[in-house]
Every structure is written in C-alpha cells, then in structure tokens.
A and B are shown apart, each in its own frame.
Chain A
C-alpha cells in the first residue's frame, strides 16, 4: 500500500479540534442517513442538474451494499463509499481518506415525513428536509430498504436545482461486489493548513489534505452538502482550457463554472492563488460560500514586480 505520510501530530490535533466544533446532530435526519448508507439495492438512476436554465443529465448503474456503492456509466466503473474510492479504467485512482469522518449534521436542517406513496411499484414514503422553514430537499424513500428512490434538491428561489430518480430498482446485488478489496489505496491523511476560513456560510472546514499536483484540498461540509476547495500557487488560465465552461458572475465578481449532472465546479484566480471549488451545494449556498473565500482578482502591478524582483 502506498502511504503518503504528510501529517504532523500537531496537524492531526488541529484537524480534529476543528471537526469537534461541529453543531448538534439532527437525530431524525441522521437516523435516516444511517439507514440509507446501509441500504442494499441496485438499479439505474437518472441524475440531473438545472442551474440558470442549463441542464446536465446522466444515467448510471448503481449497486449499493454495506456502505459502499459501485457506479458504472458504461465507460467507467468506480467503487466508492466510507472515504474510499477506486476508479477503474485508464485513469485509475484508489484513494482512502481517514480522519474526521463523523461530522454531525448541522442543526439548520429538519426532517419531516410526508405522504406514503409508491415508486416503481414499491411502497415508499416522502421525507422533506427543511432549512429555516424552507424546503431544501425532498426524498422518496423505499420503505423496505431505505434506499433513496428519488431526490430533489431545491435552490434558494424554490426551483429544483438537482434531482435523481431510480428508473430501475432491485433489492439484489452482484454477489461478487467487492466487499474485501485488496487493491492498494493511497491513504490520504490530513495536513495542517489553515489559510482558508474554518467556517464558510455554515459549512465547517473539517480537514485539509494534500491535493493532486501540489494543490491543497480543504474539505467543507454542513453534514448534508459538501464541497472541496483546491488551491495552488500561481494562476491558471481556466477559460482557455475548459470545455463546457460558462461564465458565472456573482456579487460583482467573475468566475468560471462547469455544471455536471451531480456536481458543480467553480474556478477562478485569486491574487497569487488559483482556486477550484468542487461540490454538490445548492447555488444559494454557493453564493454565500464564495463571499467567504478569496475573491477573483490579480496582484497589483507593484506586487507582481516586487515578487518578480525579490521573490
């Protein structure tokens, strides 16, 4: 096993100290999430994101067993869950995250059980997750397995921002689904890094890791949604190197965004730092988060000259 020893004891202490300040657990929602994590099922799922009228859709085959899921798109296959991910194919990756993995749900979410219904002919129930009285997420949950049969995430304007729907469902899973994986994983350990805010619009900075190609990964979550902020020194010409990128202007600042079926990427250059945000948070949360992170901009001419001359 390849192990990257990039951790200091002090770093671990700092990281766990950060994670320990998480707000209280919302019991009911936590209970459901625990059940969903343990659910046993397989099927096909349609996922889509609609943001500012732009829609991105995908279909995947999913198997879920024992907290792990296999995801097959036909062109790639991955097994992911519980901080572990192995991506098969030309760009193989095998990552194992350890450390703060029990971040509590933010008490800003509440859950209520709605109507009893059916999905794909199966008895289901509706769960509604609200944030300060605002409907943030609606789940259709399979009664027997607790699997999420359909999910709708709402943006701040009340529109459906992201949705997923099972279009095929079974309680069976492939017996060969890897429960014991002997593949070597790159173990990711937190590093001591605190240049970004420890709280961004209600999202807690849980831990920081060494990212790919010398970048740093700061992981934030509010217990339900999450995102990572990747930072690296210098500037990246995002606009000329991304496909399907779109301008994204908010609060008078210009960013670049890529909308995927189940996630969004936002990239920009702050003074001296190139930044990429990758996550699943809804757009109104994103706006609030961006306001707490370094804004797009360039170093002043004097600063650039000073750095060039004196380092």
Chain B
C-alpha cells in the first residue's frame, strides 16, 4: 500500500512528466508509489494518458505554403527531396515549385548538397540496374538516331497516288506532331516515353 496520498496540485505535473519520460529515478519512485493502490491517482493517470493518446491520433494538418510568413517552402524542401511528403502535401509543394523560381533555386541547391554528400567516400549507394535491363537481344537491325531526329528518318512527304500531282499531300511528321499534341492532354503522357518524341524538321 502506498504511503503517499495523491494531491492533484502536487503530483499532476509528475504524471505528465512521467509519460514524457522526463522524471528522475526518485520521482519515478514517487509516481510508482502513488499508482500502487491510490484510486484517485490511478484514475487521474489513466485519464491523462487517454487524452494524450487521443491527441496523438488526431490528423496532422500542414499549413499551406501561401499562409507561411514569407510564402515559401522552407524546411519542407528537405522533406520533399526525401520523398516524405504525403500525396496532398506533395502536390501542394510541387505546385508552389512550379510557380516559385526562388524555391526552385533553393531546392536545386539543397539537392546539389545532398548529391555531394552522397558522393563522398564511404557513403553507400546502391545503384539499380535499370539501364542494363534494357533489351539487348534479337537485334537484327539497329536504327540509332540523335534523339527525336530519329523520327525524321521517316519524315517524308507522301503524295496521294491517285489524282495527279496537284493532290494534297500527307506529311507523316505532321501527323505525328498532331497526335503528340492531342495525346499530351491525357494523363498517361506524363510517364510514357512518347512524351519525348516530337517530329523533327
């Protein structure tokens, strides 16, 4: 049985500090004695713990960038580079980056610093084999072109075979350009390699 009697004014702060792990060994002994049979102390302690648990369970709301004192991203750039932002916040940060050259410059500096750190001796990186995963087999014929100029290899004026020389012509590059412009309105355009192929002159 505890020799101490629970006094809210005297011991309330002890419980809070106990839950925060901030007590000295002597203070921990006092809390242990209070919780050893004092129903008022136990009730108060359980209530306090439940409140703290409930607070931790509340959703976290980020302050929109526009409401920050200077309207910039600050420390969230670091979280952005770490891939730690949740979807909504990620989009908010990205939207701000699109509009704010100052934050883009800061992000670039931060990224450079991180790359420099990662490139230091002793800093492990595990490069993937993505490039090696590209196909190397069944190569009967290889067409290597300098970028989108590859499309120009087939960029020929195609005349209609019927009707004589005054007939309208089809230029395949024009068709490809027109398709690309329309396709760029679709969501898949952001990830498919076609996003980079535009008809060359």
Assess whether B134 is interfacial by the CB under 8 Å rule. yes
- How long is the Cα–Cα vector from A117 to B128 in the complex, in angstroms? 7
Q: Of the candidates B82, B170, B178, which one forms a contact with A95 in the assembled complex, judged by CB atoms under 8 Å apart?
A: B178
B173 and A91 contact, CB distance less than 8 A: yes
Which residues of A244-261 are within 8 A (CB) of B? 244-245, 258-261
| B133-148 interface bits toward A, Cβ cutoff 8 Å, 1 = contact, 0 = none | 1110111111111111
B184 and A217 contact, CB distance less than 8 A: no
A85 and B180 contact, CB distance less than 8 A: yes
Assess whether A130 is interfacial by the CB under 8 Å rule. no
| B155-192 interface bits toward A, Cβ cutoff 8 Å, 1 = contact, 0 = none | 01111111100011111111111111111111111111
B182 and A209 contact, CB distance less than 8 A: yes
Assess whether B80 is interfacial by the CB under 8 Å rule. yes
B192 and A224 contact, CB distance less than 8 A: yes
Known interface pairs A33-B190, A58-B145, A83-B185; A164-B180 also in contact (CB < 8 Å): no
Residues of A within 8 A of B196 (CB): 45, 47, 58, 60, 62, 69, 71, 164, 262
A58 and B198 contact, CB distance less than 8 A: no
Q: Of the candidates B91, B179, B194, B199, which one forms a contact with A87 in the assembled complex, judged by CB atoms under 8 Å apart?
A: B199
B188 and A225 contact, CB distance less than 8 A: yes
B201 and A90 contact, CB distance less than 8 A: yes
| A35-53 interface bits toward B, Cβ cutoff 8 Å, 1 = contact, 0 = none | 1111110000111101011
B128 and A118 contact, CB distance less than 8 A: yes
Centre residue among A59, A101, A160, A223 by max chain B CB count within 10 A: A59
Assess whether A287 is interfacial by the CB under 8 Å rule. no
| A84-114 interface bits toward B, Cβ cutoff 8 Å, 1 = contact, 0 = none | 1101011101011100010101000000000
Residues of B within 8 A of A85 (CB): 177, 180-181, 184, 198
Residues of A within 8 A of B160 (CB): 232, 234-236, 274
Residues of A within 8 A of B104 (CB): 40, 171-173, 175
Known interface pairs A40-B104, A50-B138, A175-B101; A217-B191 also in contact (CB < 8 Å): no
A97 and B185 contact, CB distance less than 8 A: yes
B197 and A47 contact, CB distance less than 8 A: yes
Q: Please tell me which stretch of A5-13, A137-145, A192-200 contacts chain B, meaning at least 4 of its Cβ atoms lie within 8 angstroms of it.
A: A137-145
Known interface pairs A83-B182, A211-B175, A226-B188; A265-B91 also in contact (CB < 8 Å): no
Chain A proximity of B176: nearest CB distance (Å):
5
B127 and A172 contact, CB distance less than 8 A: no
| A264-278 interface bits toward B, Cβ cutoff 8 Å, 1 = contact, 0 = none | 010100000010101
- How long is the Cα–Cα vector from A71 to B94 in the complex, in angstroms? 21
B171 and A213 contact, CB distance less than 8 A: yes
A244 and B197 contact, CB distance less than 8 A: no
Q: Of the candidates B95, B126, B198, which one forms a contact with A38 in the assembled complex, judged by CB atoms under 8 Å apart?
A: B95
Residues of B within 8 A of A151 (CB): 191-193
- How long is the Cα–Cα vector from A258 to B119 in the complex, in angstroms? 42
Assess whether A295 is interfacial by the CB under 8 Å rule. no
Known interface pairs A118-B125, A280-B194; A38-B186 also in contact (CB < 8 Å): no
Residues of B within 8 A of A279 (CB): 179, 183, 194
| A215-235 interface bits toward B, Cβ cutoff 8 Å, 1 = contact, 0 = none | 101010101111110101011
Q: Please tell me which stretch of B20-28, B48-56, B67-75, B107-115 contacts chain A, meaning at least 4 of its Cβ atoms lie within 8 angstroms of it.
A: B107-115
Q: Which residue of A lies closest to B123 (CB)?
A: A121
Chain A proximity of B182: nearest CB distance (Å):
5
A-B contacts, 7 of them at CB < 8 A, read A40-B94, A73-B146, A160-B135, A162-B193, A234-B160, A261-B148, A263-B151
Known: A54-B142, A76-B201. 14 other contacts (CB 8 A): A30-B187, A56-B144, A58-B147, A83-B182, A91-B201, A95-B181, A103-B187, A117-B128, A153-B193, A163-B134, A164-B193, A244-B143, A278-B172, A279-B194
